[in-house]
Every structure is written in C-alpha cells, then in structure tokens.
Structure 1
C-alpha cells in the first residue's frame, strides 16, 4: 500500500534519483525488520511484470496513490529528483518468495534491485545466494533480466570451474537441490541434467514437502513430480529383473540344460539360493496370500547404484562341481550392465524439457508397450532416440529380458 509522511529508517539508494521507496518487511511478528530502498519505478515496471501491474495508475490503489504523491512533490520541489528520500511515496512488500532463512534480507533484495537497475553485484555469489536470488526474481516475475545478467557474467560456468570432482561428489541433498533450482530458473543445461539424475539415483525425491521450506525442497515447473516418476519407473524396472528370474525358476520348464539325473534338483537349489540372496540384500520379502498382509512394502529409499552393485554380488551357485553356469549370475550381470548404461541418461535434458516437454516428459506416458532386449542397439542412436530408448525401457508395461 502506498504511504506518505516522513520516515526515519535507513534508506539504501539503489537509484540515487529514484521516485519510489520499496519497503521490505522481513522477520517474525515479534521481531520484524524493515528495509527501504530508493528505486526508479519506471525501471521496476520495465523489468518486472509484477511491479508493472502493481504500479499501473488505473488498476491498483498503489499506482493511483503514488501518482498523487508525485504530483504533490513536483509542486513542492519543482522536480521529483530534488525530493528527499524520506518523503517519496512507498510501497511495502511482505513476501519475497520461499527463500531460505537469511541473516540480512537487505543484501539479497539489494542484489535483485541492482540487477534490475543495470548495476553490478558480487562477482561470484555462492550457490545458496543464487538460489534465493532466483526465487525472488521469480516471485516478482523478473526472471528474464536476472537470468540474462547471470548468463552474461558467466557466473554458473565460473562456479562449475571452481568445484572439484571431490567437492561435487560430496554435495548434500540440499546443495544439489539448490543447484538444480538455479539450473531451472537460470537455464543452465549442464546442472539440470547432472543434478536431476543425482536426485533420482540417490533417492532424494518423493518426500513429503513442507510449503514453509525453501522452494528447492519442492522444485517448480513440475520437475519434482517428474523426478519422482522417473525414480519409481527405475525401481519398477529393477524389480522386473528380479521377477523375471524368479518366474523362470518357478515355471514348469527345466532350466538346467546339462541333462544330469540331478538337473531337477539343480533348479530347486538355484531357486532356493536366489530367494535367499534377494531376501538378504532386501529386494525380496516373502508373504503369504491366504490373508491380507499388514502393510505394503516401503519403497527403496537408497542409492540405485548401490542397489545394482549389491545385485552384482550374487554368487555363481553350484549344486556340485559339475553344474557350472546353472544359476542366474551369467544372465543377470549383462542385464545390470544395460540398466547402468541407461541410467547414464536418466536426468532431465534441458533442450527437450523446454522445446518438447509434452513428448519428452515421463509424467504423461502410459505404459502400453512391450520392451524387448533385442532392440537395444537399434534404438540407442541419435539424441532423440536415446531419450526415447531410456523412456521406453523404464516405462514399459512389459519387458522381455531374455
């Protein structure tokens, strides 16, 4: 709401000859803090759709009140630039977006307003600052100008160059999410694909979100939902591999091809050891079907690479020294290699997400086709085909692993 009258709070001059005060309230009801910035209303309107709408004379009371006060100041001082900052009309902002807790909101808002006014900010701000800056820019519908500044200054490329492989590998979930949010808002493809894949692989999606938490805990543009769908699809595919071998060894068809008298016993032995192994690594839970079980299984929350590595440890079980390669190890390891290769492309491709999201996204895909292993080589050529091949494997209604 527009305000007038003398004020004594400190005013930061973003535009030394600006015609408006922007007052930002931040903090709790018990200890609120108010920061004021002298800004140019024409700059705000030209770079922010939010302020353009808010400051229109004929749309909101703020715009009308500001025009009236401007007229009074011109009459009193001859021109607006001569008016003291404390007497300028002001608007108050109480919501700057779902940012994280910061010690000084004035530094963040100052960076945002300085970029809008064409001024420089800190040469290489840390990623949490950039993430908060992106949230503020989005809140006030001014992403384009901030994104353009970040790109022009090559800030993200510089941060990438300073991050060692060791540091990158040790990033916490929150730091990965901050980078992914920055990639979404500031259009940085390397981070979008890399860190979306990491969230999927690590199991850092699918948690219940708190709207009071910073926005990176609930990624915008449906990215959070997309990652959840991809994670579930990968787990479903891995589970189908396990089901494939269990089905083979519980069918009427004999698996042991050696033709010994104990070949039937070999199949039973392999089935028992297989069940024992999958149960031990936590991918199988035997339950009866005569009565309902207590609770459904809790989805796997760990690292998918760790899961695949655990499955790779299955021994080559032998009922005796004559039965070699009768177990599933020989057939399982090549399938796990296929999954590992496809997981290299599980992240969100920025180009496809922006230009053809409807066709590229997994959110709307309906599992109505059969995936066949023999199609691997023919479908993994070319940019678009590689994405299609990955999606078809992980979202198939049925998979033929043989």
Structure 2
C-alpha cells in the first residue's frame, strides 16, 4: 500500500478562480494509457495506479478534488528532478525547512528505498498500488482553473529528463504545437509553483509554434487575425512575453488595441476576485494598451469633428483663421466668419452646405454609428419609468465588447457622394474624407504591428519612458495633406532607437490638434 500522503495544498499559492477547461490530450510514460484506465476504474478515489512520468520514480504526487473524483490523478515522478528543477518542490521537500520534507525522509527510510531500483515497491502481479512515498495536493483555485491535466503537464516538464528517449521526443513534438490555451495555463500554474524557468527553457528548446497553424500565422498582422477571440489574443501575448518573443508580442498587443477588450468598458481595472494572468497584463501594459486605443478613437472622432465644424455644426476651437475653401467673400455666412464649403459658386451655396451637413450627421449617427446625439438637459441616469432601472443596470453589466477599429474605418469609407443637385457634383464630403482615411489606416494595418508594445524596450524601465504614449506631453500639432503627415510641431524628444514610422504614428494619435487639410 502507498505510504501516508503528505498534504501540501496549503503551500500552493491561491492565484486564480474560474471554470476548468482542459485541452491536454498527451499522456506519456511507460504504460501511461494503461495506468490511466485502471486508475479510473479504482473503486475508491481513482488513485490506485498513478501515471508513470518517471519509470524509476521514487515519489508519488497525488491530486485529489473532494468535489469531483473524476479530477483525481496521481503521477510517479523523480524527486531528484523535482528538487533540481523546481524551487517550490526543492523547498517543500527539504527536511530542514518543512515538516513535509522531514516526513518524506522518514517514509523513504522506512521503506528502505534503493536508489538504483524501485521494483520492490511495485505490488505483486502489478495489480495493486505502488508503495512509494506520497505527496498529496488537494484541489485549489489554481488547479481547478488550469485543470489536473495541465498540472500533470507541468510535472512532466519538470521530470522530462527521466523519460525514455522516444517518449521524450514524442512529448516535445506534441508540446510544440499544443494550443495557446493549454500553454498559457501551463505558464500560469508554473508561476503559481514558482517554477517558471523550466517552462521557458522547454518552450525555447522546442521552438513553440503557437498552435497547429505555426509561428508564421502569428508573426505578421493581417485582418484575418481580427476574427480571433480576445482570450486567445491575450494568451498569445502572455506566452510570447514569457518566452521573450518580441515580434509576436508586438503583433498581438497591436491586435488587442484594434479589437478592444471586454475589460475596457469604462477603464482598465483588474477583474474582481482572483483572475488569470492574461486577463490583466502586468507592468502597466494593460493601461498602456487601453490608452493607445483611446488615442486612436479620439483621432477618428477628431476627423469627424473637423468636417462637422467646417459645416457649422460645432464651434471652431481654433482662433486662427483657416484658409478659405470657398470661392470668395461673397460666399461666407452672414452670422459668422465661417466660409461656405460649397464649391459650385452658385446662389444656393447655403442650401448646399445645409444639405451636406444633414447627410453627414445622418451618416455618422445612423450608418457608421460613430457619432451619438444626446441631450445635455437631463441627467443621464434619469429614467421616467423607475421599474425599468433594474433592466437598464443589467443591460449595462452585459455590455458587449468594443467594435474593432478596422471595422470603424471601413464604415467611414462607405460614405456616399451626396449632392443637392447635378450642379453640385464636387461639393460632397466624400471627396475630402476618403483621401485622409489612409493616413490613419496605414498605421492600423501595418504588418509588423507598429501600434503594439515592443517588449525589448518595455522591459527596460529607463528606455520605457521614450516608448510610452500614456506619459507623453501632448502639446504638439500635426498637419496632414492627403494621406501624408507633412509637419509635426513641438513634438517631444525622441529615442534614436525608435523607427520614424513609430514616431509618426504616435505623433498623429497623441496630437493636441490636427489640421486634416493642410
């Protein structure tokens, strides 16, 4: 029979809660499938026959979940490799530091373990449990979230050197194309056990491919990536950051900026309670990505406001007179100095402008839905029907994720060529709006993900200041002509290590003011 188990569940950090979803299909080791099957048939807790990770292993690790016996698993492992690879197990199995280590040493001595052969601990006819010292891990927030399969995967990585060569090769090949979801959970559980270095090492050595589609599918930004779910995007960011792959990190932080996040409804805040690592990116990355997205949205809003202001729907915030686009002083308004935008030079110039303004407001509010018409007269929280307040609160809590920026830009490209009559064919906003859009779009569609975070720079606190948007002083102005930035005034000091295209993108999206038709 197995020795009395050591309960070390209290030693495991409690870092995350959530539903368990296991995707690991790998179960390697001599007789691994057989031991899995027979263990599942055990009459009590399903732990009679452990999965053999280390063929000559001298220790059993047991995972038990009182609420679900289906999640009860055990593994035969090498205590030497656990101590060598994992600071957590090294400390826990140290007889000087912890009672668990002293109890383990006593069990080993009592069982008279032979370091060269452990066959005497196997039950007769291989029909009973293996009598080896047992370390007992009770299910907790980390193991329930990541799943016992991922815990087993973590243990296999630690004991990789004890596997037979063909088993080791097969294991590494399967791990190389394992799904990002499983690898992200592996990183999460390894971090909880303070044993991240072995995970980094093996992912580097096998050249992890981020799933079956391969590294090429994640190394360059394309619009096909916009279909990816937010959790998968965040998992790949966590993995690429952990294994220090700056190319993938930049592409996928760029992607997250474009698609937005369900956690960014008002502002980026950590999820309530315990959460997975990728749900709130550390080192101020979450705040920086949110800020960059807001800067992009503000730039698109400013472009729309530019044309609404030109047609008199908004007050002019620039006291300096703009160059006239009309045919002369005869075509200025009588109530203010605003020049007519009509280019036909006919008597119905005022009607042309009013028509264009109406169509523009209608398009922005009804078709692209990028402008909201509200009222300043009522309290936004006021409801004439108190009984509907609970429904409104529930609706707010279930608010959908933000639309991706590429879709917004595509909707603006659909602006029709409105004209009041056949004599005003060149007066529409479309002829002025469409040439400007590529100035924004080219940065959004950059294949290298230039809006994303460069972790080579970001990991250096001294160099990070030059790359942060959130810390920049927005005092500069930008002049745009057609699809090009023609001038930037009073921009902040730049790092020589940054590309000019990075500086231009930041300048456009963080500008205090923009002249869209310089």
For the aligned pair, the TM-score class normalised by the smaller chain equals 0.7 to 0.9
Of 180, 192, 197, which aligns to 1:139?
192
> Do the aligned residues in 1 keep the contact of 2:226 with 2:259 (CA within 8 Å)?
no
Aligned Cα root-mean-square deviation (Å):
3.9
> Do the aligned residues in 2 keep the contact of 1:150 with 1:156 (CA within 8 Å)?
no
In 2, Cα distance between the equivalents of 1:52 and 1:384? Answer: 46
Of 105, 109, 116, which aligns to 2:151?
109
Residue 163 of structure 1 and its aligned partner are, at CA, apart by: 7.9
Cα 1:149–1:320 change in 2 (3 A) is same
Query: Are residues 1:12 and 2:51 paired?
Result: yes
Residue in 1 aligned with 2:437? 336
Residue 109 of structure 1 and its aligned partner are, at CA, apart by: 3.1
Residue in 1 aligned with 2:174? 124
Residue in 2 aligned with 1:318? 419
Residue in 2 aligned with 1:35? 73
Residue in 2 aligned with 1:368? 474
Query: Are residues 1:305 and 2:392 paired?
Result: no
Pairs aligned (count): 393
SS at match of 1:309: helix
Cα 1:62–1:5 change in 2 (3 A) is closer
> Do the aligned residues in 2 keep the contact of 1:25 with 1:32 (CA within 8 Å)?
no
SS at match of 1:277: helix
Residue in 2 aligned with 1:390? 505
In 2, Cα distance between the equivalents of 1:288 and 1:96? Answer: 47
Of 23, 29, 33, which aligns to 2:62?
23
SS at match of 2:426: coil
In 1, Cα distance between the equivalents of 2:377 and 2:411? Answer: 32
Query: Are residues 1:254 and 2:339 paired?
Result: yes
Cα 1:300–1:396 change in 2 (3 A) is farther
> Do the aligned residues in 2 keep the contact of 1:373 with 1:401 (CA within 8 Å)?
yes
Output aligned runs, 1:1-400, within 5 Å. 4=4, 9-26=48-65, 29-31=67-69, 33-73=71-111, 76-77=112-113, 82=118, 84=121, 86-92=131-137, 94-95=139-140, 97=142, 105-106=148-149, 108-119=150-161, 120=168, 121=171, 123-125=173-175, 126-127=178-179, 128-156=181-209, 159-161=212-214, 170-206=227-263, 209=271, 215-219=277-281, 222-250=284-312, 251=316, 252-256=337-341, 259-281=345-367, 282-294=369-381, 301-343=402-444, 344=446, 345-355=450-460, 356-362=463-469, 364-366=470-472, 368-374=474-480, 376=485, 383-400=498-515
> Do the aligned residues in 1 keep the contact of 2:59 with 2:132 (CA within 8 Å)?
no
> Do the aligned residues in 2 keep the contact of 1:4 with 1:87 (CA within 8 Å)?
no
Where do 5+ consecutive residues of structure 1 fail to align?
none
SS at match of 1:9: coil
Residue 123 of structure 1 and its aligned partner are, at CA, apart by: 1.2
Per-residue CA deviation, residues 255-303 of structure 1 (Å, 9 max, x unaligned), is 43554433333333322221121111211222233443448x9898222
In 1, Cα distance between the equivalents of 2:479 and 2:48? Answer: 70
Residue 304 of structure 1 and its aligned partner are, at CA, apart by: 1.6
Cα 1:313–1:134 change in 2 (3 A) is same
SS at match of 1:92: strand
> Do the aligned residues in 1 keep the contact of 2:60 with 2:76 (CA within 8 Å)?
yes
Cα 1:325–1:46 change in 2 (3 A) is farther
In 1, Cα distance between the equivalents of 2:285 and 2:85? Answer: 26
Cα 1:68–1:325 change in 2 (3 A) is farther
Larger mean Cα displacement after TM superposition, 137-146 or 278-287:
137-146
Cα 1:180–1:205 change in 2 (3 A) is farther
Larger Rg: 2
In 2, Cα distance between the equivalents of 1:156 and 1:36? Answer: 29
Residue 235 of structure 1 and its aligned partner are, at CA, apart by: 1.6
